[in-house]
Copies of this chain bind each other. A is one copy, B any other.
Amino acid sequence: MAITGVLRPGHMQLKVLDLDEAVEFYSNVVGLVQTGRDATRAYFKGWDERDHHSLILRDAGEAGMDFYGFKVADDATLATLEADLKNYGVTTERVPAGDLLETGERVRFQIPSGHLIELSSQKTDVGNGMGYINPPPWNEAAERGIAPIRMDHALLYGPDIEKVQALFVDVLGFYLVEHILLEDGKTDLAIWLSCSTKAHDIALVRNEEPGKLHHTAFLLDSWEKVLRAADLMSMNRVTIDMGPTRHGVTRGTTIYAFDNSGNRFETFCGGYQSYPDWEPLTWTWDEVGPAVFYHDRKLNPAFLGVYT
């Protein structure tokens, strides 16, 4: 197979201060489609996603991320990757099917940066609402709120990111797409890893405190939709952290903003498509400004210091 193993980000379970408020925010402002609810959690997907959910909100009284999961090709792949993780010395556990609505068993493990990562192979295909026979290119859900196409990637903050990179590359088949070097010219400040032709499926920034979330990203399909997203954020009094602007890394266009629990999210468009045989792009410390915010050429104060 040309695409095998880990396919894509499958779900992010996000902690929120007030579930009802968060449901309102992610439904009406972000414009995700709510697909389910259980005792403590609400389930969402982007309008063009087919799996039952990608974003899960958990009523936690605090902000942050519980875990970030990837969809793998099938059950056999799940078993193989679980075995590979164990051989690599990673402790894994199986979370039973049904623990997340419409989702099969998940293989969960902690990575050196302190985050819980999951793999799973089964999630109910609920469709994108347009059917699989003679579908239109989009429907009304594509214009309800900011209306991202999908949950796209996450940027995590924690220590030992070189160990995380080794694990994702050696065991899970990811490859390094871009990285930013620290002042020493050797150690990475940040890494962007892909399991696909996306410029990133996961990214990490080196940070003393483990297990932190910098942002969850949602995909838009044009720079004009990025403008529309910024307009809707202002109309809804959403606090924008930065943007609209462009990243040097990935070339993507972007807005960073905060949900009403203080979790940062990104509405993101574009970026180039990359391949695993490509040489990774390197950003040096003196160019960290344009690497992150290409237009301003400097970090905004919140970028490194604010996370959940």
Contact = CB atoms under 8 A, between A and B. Distances in A.
Interface string A67-88: 0000101100000000000000
Contact of A134 (B194, B251, B287): B287
A74 B244 contact: no
Nearest to A168: B2
Given A2-B172, A73-B277, A227 B198 contact: no
A44 interface: no
Interface stretch (A17-25, A52-60, A98-106, A291-299): A291-299
A136 B235 contact: yes
Interface in A193-242: 194-198, 221-224, 227, 230-231, 233-235, 237, 240
Interface string A127-149: 00000111111100001000001
A282 interface: yes
29 contacts: A2-B3, A2-B6, A2-B7, A2-B173, A2-B174, A2-B194, A2-B195, A3-B4, A7-B276, A48-B272, A50-B279, A73-B277, A125-B279, A132-B281, A132-B282, A133-B284, A134-B284, A136-B248, A137-B248, A137-B294, A138-B251, A149-B272, A222-B222, A230-B245, A230-B295, A240-B296, A240-B297, A243-B295, A255-B295
Interface of A: 1-8, 48, 50, 71, 73-74, 125, 132-138, 143, 149, 172-175, 194-198, 221-224, 227, 230-231, 233-235, 237, 240, 243-246, 248, 251, 253, 255, 270, 272-273, 275-284, 287, 290-291, 294-297
